[in-house]
Structure 1
Amino acid sequence: MKKTFKLIDLDCANCAAKMEAAIKKLDGVTDATVSFMTQKMTIEGDDARFDDIVKEAVKVCKKVEPDCEVVIK
């Protein structure tokens, strides 16, 4: 499964790179991109665990950038 999420208040490209690297290390993730320019995060991962992967990714984002909010539709 592959989904894109909008990010609010992502402050710098360096933070986006840190988030992307950390999300790629999560169990079940096959690919991830975090774009500072478009303020979007795309996660591709295991269908059966996708909800858990998204929750973990949100935690990672908060750890790197506490002010950043991930919009989950």
Structure 2
Amino acid sequence: MLKEFFQSNRKAILLGVVGIVLGAVGGLFYWKYMGDYASAESLIISSPYRTSMYGAVIGGLFLSFWEPRRSSQQ
């Protein structure tokens, strides 16, 4: 049952994983280049771990909204 689920939704799962990875990398770059990491005023941008996790969540949610196209073979 679980194996069938993963086989039938392989592309959607892959999109979610890619979104998580891209979001985490984007969050890290945001912290490094745009975040004010010298001061700890903001809880999100004060730590690279937090910005990476926040970016991973946003990236995963963003790419999970797209469903891969299904072939119309019947």
Same fold flag (TM > 0.5): no
Question: When you count helix as a share of all residues, which structure comes out higher?
Answer: 2
TM-score for both structures, normalised by structure 1 = 0.34
- Give the greater-gyration-radius structure (CA): 2
Q: Normalized per residue, which structure has more strand?
A: 1
